[in-house]
């Protein structure tokens, strides 16, 4: 998320009650989780094993829970609980603004676009030309939709990321990492009925041009779906997964977070993808393997009773 105007690092430190070390003249231009950071961004780290990754990332200002050596040109904001400090900044600079009408006055809807009864369009949404938004679609704040997009009934675009920090010492154990990201749907995309596409925690969830979704599909926060992909019903994509162009996922495929499925890959129905897959191949199974090999494995598994009987005869 980018700020409307740069904010002095001293102001940020005061807001979260942090000890400031390093360059105290810096200006923060945005706030981002570690895998999305750009120069000028604020990020946070609260586990020592991730210190080096965060300190040497593109982040300019780092909220951290321990005083360490400050990388050149950066600033550290030292607080006891970086997670809560980060959340407090999100709430201040991207506060929840309750809707007052079904279609926000700040939304922009392009020429030729049809908005059906029962549609909700939030603040600062931009929808392109010649789209069809079917009944009871919900489009959360800051979503961007391209031209010639079709969204079928009951779909939700831009719901919060499923991202929580466990606090084992509390009765209410899970603290929510507030989402300040957005969803971007490119041109000529079709999204089926009752799908859900979560916004990024701080960056973008992207659905590439020409991609087609069947009904009841879930896309997790920060996922990037390539161009001209085809997803059948009940596909689920974990947060921050990258699905490259021309990938086909058949019904009930589950894809883990933080992985890459390569260009042109095909995953057959009722498969589970725990790790990255090379492009240009056909996959199947739980966990997935190349389809031919997996089918041979199944054939041999079916023969186990027969082979066991021969061994014991």
Query: Is the Cβ–Cβ distance between 25 and 11 less than 8 Å?
Result: no
CA 306 to CA 313: how far, in whole Å? Answer: 11
- Quote the pTM value: 0.93
Q: Does position 47 have pLDDT exceeding 80, yes or no?
A: yes
Which residues does residue 131 pair with via DSSP β-bridges, in sequence order?
none
pLDDT of residue 243: 98
Active site residue 221: yes
Report which of 88, 89, 95, 96 is spatially closest to residue 28, judged by C-alpha positions. 89
pLDDT of residue 33: 86
Report the Cα–Cα distance between both ends of the chain, in Å, rounded: 69
How far are the Cα atoms of 19, 32, 213, 224, 254 from residue 28, in angstroms, in the given order? Answer: 16, 11, 38, 26, 38
Confidence of residue 74 (pLDDT cuts 50, 70, 90): very high
Q: Does position 306 have pLDDT exceeding 90, yes or no?
A: no
- pLDDT, tens digit (0-9, with 9 covering 90-100), for 81-126: 999 999 999 999 999 999 999 999 999 999 999 999 999 999 999 9
Confidence of residue 263 (pLDDT cuts 50, 70, 90): very high
Average pLDDT over the chain, rounded to an integer: 96
CATH 3.40.50.150 fits 108-296, yes or no: no
- pLDDT, tens digit (0-9, with 9 covering 90-100), for 2-35: 999 999 999 999 999 999 999 999 999 999 988 8
CATH 3.30.70.980 fits 2-93, yes or no: no
Q: Does position 313 have pLDDT exceeding 80, yes or no?
A: no
Where are the CATH 3.40.1390.10 domain residues in the chain? 2-93
Of 134, 152, 218, 221, which residue is the catalytic one?
221
Instruction: Count Cα neighbours of 270 within 13 Å in the Cβ-side half-sphere.
Output: 0
Cα four-point dihedral sign 283, 186, 216, 97: positive
Tell me the helices (H) and strands (E) count for the chain, helix number first. Answer: 5, 34
Where are the CATH 2.160.10.10 domain residues in the chain? 108-296
Query: Is the Cβ–Cβ distance between 205 and 223 less than 8 Å?
Result: yes
């Amino acid at each position: 998320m980018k700020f409307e105007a740069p904010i002095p690092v001293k102001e940020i430190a005061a807001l979260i009650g942090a000890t400031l070390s390093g360059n105290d003249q810096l200006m923060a231009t945005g706030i981002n989780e570690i895998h999305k950071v750009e120069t000028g961004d604020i990020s946070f780290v609260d586990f020592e094993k991730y210190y080096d990754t965060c300190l040497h990332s593109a982040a300019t200002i780092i909220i951290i829970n321990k005083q360490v050596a400050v990388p050149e040109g950066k600033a550290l904001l030292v607080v006891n609980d970086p997670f809560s400090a980060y959340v407090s900044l999100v709430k201040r600079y991207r506060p929840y603004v309750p809707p007052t009408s079904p279609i926000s006055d700040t939304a922009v809807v392009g020429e030729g676009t049809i908005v059906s009864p029962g549609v909700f369009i939030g603040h600062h949404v931009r929808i392109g030309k010649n789209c069809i938004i079917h009944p009871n679609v919900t489009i959360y704040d800051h979503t961007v939709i391209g031209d010639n997009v079709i969204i079928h009934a009951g779909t939700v675009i831009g719901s919060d990321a499923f991202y929580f920090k466990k606090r084992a010492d509390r009765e209410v154990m899970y603290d929510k990492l507030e989402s300040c990201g957005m969803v971007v749907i490119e041109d000529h995309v079709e999204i089926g009925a009752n799908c859900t596409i979560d916004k990024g925690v701080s960056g973008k969830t992207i659905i590439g041009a020409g991609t087609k979704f069947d009904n009841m599909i879930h896309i997790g926060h920060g996922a990037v779906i390539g161009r001209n992909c085809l997803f059948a019903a009940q596909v689920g994509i974990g947060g921050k997964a990258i699905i490259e162009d021309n990938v086909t996922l058949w019904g009930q495929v589950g894809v883990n977070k933080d992985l890459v499925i390569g260009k042109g890959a095909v995953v057959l129905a009722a498969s589970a993808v725990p790790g990255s897959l090379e492009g240009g191949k056909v996959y199947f199974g739980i966990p997935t393997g190349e389809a031919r090999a997996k089918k041979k494995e199944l054939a041999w598994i079916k023969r186990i009773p027969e082979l066991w009987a021969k061994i014991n005869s």
